Structure formats: C-alpha cells, structure tokens
Structure 1
Amino acid sequence: MKNKIFLYLFVFAALIVLYQFISAGKFEKAVNADVGDLKKEIAVLKDSLQQSQLKILDIQYFSLENNDDALAYYDHLNLKAPARYIEDKLLETNESKGNNPLVPYDGMESDFKINKINVLNHKWILADFSDGKYWGDLVIKYELKDDLGIDFTLLDHLLYTRSN
C-alpha cells in the first residue's frame, strides 16, 4: 500500500512539474512576443521624436535666441535675455486703456491686445492680437536703444475675417 501511495505521489508530482514546464514555455513565448512588440513601438517613437526635434529646430531657426549675428547687436547692453526683455516691453503696450496702440483696428467684442510674440531678429517681431473673438497678426519693426528704450513701428497687419 505504501508503494502505491508513493507511486501516486510521484506521478502527481511529475504531472505538476510537467504542467509548470509547459506553462513556463508558453509564458516565455508570450513575454518574448510582447518584448518584440515593445521594441517595434520604441523604434516608431524614436522616429517620431526625431521628427519632432527637427520641426522644433525649424521653428527655432527664426528666433533671436538662436541668431548669434542678431544677438551680437546687444552685446554692449549686458542683457541676459534680450528677446524676453523686448517681449515684455511689447506686452507693456497692452496696458494702455482701450486697444493696443500698435493694432490699427478697433476691437469688436472688446479691446484688441497683443497675445503671442516671436522676436525674429534684431529688427523684426511677429505678433498675434485678439479681442477674444477676432484675431490677426502684426509685423513690427523695433529699435532697442542704448538706454534700453524701445521704439516699435508697425510694418504690416492682417485681421482675419470669420466665415460663417
């Protein structure tokens, strides 16, 4: 009787080991398949990241921060961030009551104010303005003086019309 119990225990243990062995093989195959899929996804994400970085470099091409020749005009002023200083001075023109003086349109919903600014180089700025419903773009010429005063001159403007 003892021999039969040991035989049954041995067969039962062998079945458990066989089950574990087969399960581990299937698990390994599933994990390897998942790892392969993840490697493909990583390759796609790396390509996407590289494309995004190239787009960012294209966008930054026309900016004062990345234009050493234009920045050389401001070396004598000891400004740490000339573009930020110029943007701040342009945004100060929004503080006047009514429309921004550089925007040649009367606001329809409220006053037109400058929202976004891109300092292209040591002479030109692109700016976006809006009254909350209507919007447009400005091309502004500026001159940063030695006393850190800035003169802004509107070169061109565009107001987008809504098509309903």
Structure 2
Amino acid sequence: MKNKLFLYLFIFASLIALYLFVSGGSMVDAKEKRIVGLENKVIQLQDSVQVTELKALEMQYFSLENNDDALAYYDHLNIKDATRYISDKLLETNETKGNNPLIPYEGMENDFKINKIKILNHKWIIADFSDGKYWGEVLIKYELKDDLGVDFSLVDNLLYTRSN
C-alpha cells in the first residue's frame, strides 16, 4: 500500500513536472515572439525618427537661425536672437488701428493681421495673415538698420479664395 501511494505520488509529480516543462517552454516561445515583435517595432520607430529628423532639418534649411552667412550680417549689432527681434518688430505692425499696413487688402470680416512669420534669411520674410475667415500670405523684404530699426516693404502677396 505504501509503495502504491509513492508510485501514485511519483506519477502525479511527474505529470505536474511534464505540464510545467511543456507550458514553460511555450511561455518562453511566446515571450521570445513578443521580444522579436517589440524589437521590430523599435527598429521601425528608430527609422521613423530618422525620417522625421531629416524632414525637420530640411524644413529648417530656409531659416535665419540656421543660416550662419545671414546671421553674420547682424554680428555687429549685438542682438541675442535676431529672429525673435525681427519677428517682434513685424508683429508690432499689427498694433496699428485697422488693417496691417503691409497687407494690401481690406479685411472682409475683421482687420487683416499677421499671424505666423517665417524669417527666411537676412532679407526676406514670409508671413501668413488672416481676418478670422479669409487668409493669405505676404513676402516681405526687410532691412535691420544699425540703430536697430527695421524697415519692411512688401514684395508680393496672395489672398486665398474660398470655393464653397
């Protein structure tokens, strides 16, 4: 009787050990598949980050802050951030009553004001303007003088039309 009990316990323990061995192996396989899947996702994310970084660098190509030759024009003025200074001066033109003087259109809903500014180099700015409903873009030539005054002159413009 004692021998049969030990035999049954041995068989039961063997079955539990076999179950644990098989399920442990399948767990390892599942974990390995998950690790491989996550590694592939990491590789894809790294690739997309590289693509995004390249696009960002490409978008910054026409930018005053990344153009050392254009920034050299302002070395003698001791301006800490020329892009910010010029942008602020351009936004000050919005403070006039009525439409911005650099925008050659009369606002239809409200006054046209400059919203977004991209300083391309030491001579040109492209800016977006809107009256809340209608919008357009202007190409502006500017000159930063030694007395830190800025002269703006309109080069070209466009107003987008709605087709509803």
Query: Offset at 1:50?
Result: 1.2
The answer to whether residue 152 in structure 2 is matched with residue 161 in structure 1 is no
Structure 1 residues 109-138: Cα deviation after superposition (integer angstroms, max 9, x where no partner): 111111110101111000000111111000
Structure 1 distance, partners of 2:76, 2:84, is 17
1:27 has 2:21 as partner? no
- Which aligned pairs between 1:12-161 and structure 2 lie closer than 5 A? 12-161=12-161
Structure 1 unpaired stretches of 5+: none
The Cα shift of 1:7 comes to 1.9
Residue identity opposite 1:72 in structure 2: A
Distance 1:96 1:16 in 2: 85
Q: Aligned equivalents of 1:4 and 1:41: distance in 2?
A: 55
Secondary structure in 2 matching 1:139: strand
For residue 61 of structure 2, what is the amino acid of its counterpart? Y
| Structure 2: gaps of 5 or more residues | none
Q: Distance in 2 between matches of 1:95 and 1:5?
A: 97
- Aligned equivalents of 1:44, 1:116: Cα separation in 2: 34
Q: TM-score, normalised by structure 2?
A: 0.96
Over aligned residue pairs, what C-alpha RMSD do you find? 1.0
How far the C-alpha of 1:2 sits from its partner, in A, is 2.3
TM-score by length of 1: 0.96
Partner Cα separation in structure 1 for residue 113 and residue 20 of structure 2: 71
Counterpart-to-counterpart distance in 2, 1:96 and 1:7: 99
Query: Letter of the aligned partner of 1:23 in structure 2?
Result: S
Residue 45 of structure 1 and its aligned partner are, at CA, apart by: 1.7
Counterpart of 2:92 in structure 1: which amino acid? E
Query: Where do 4+ consecutive residues of structure 1 move more than 6 Å?
Result: none
Q: What amino acid maps onto 2:25 in structure 1?
A: G
Q: Distance in 2 between matches of 1:132 and 1:27?
A: 60
Letter matched to residue 28 of structure 1: V
> What CA distance in whole angstroms lies between the structure 1 residues aligned with 2:5 and 2:108?
95
Q: How many residues align?
A: 164
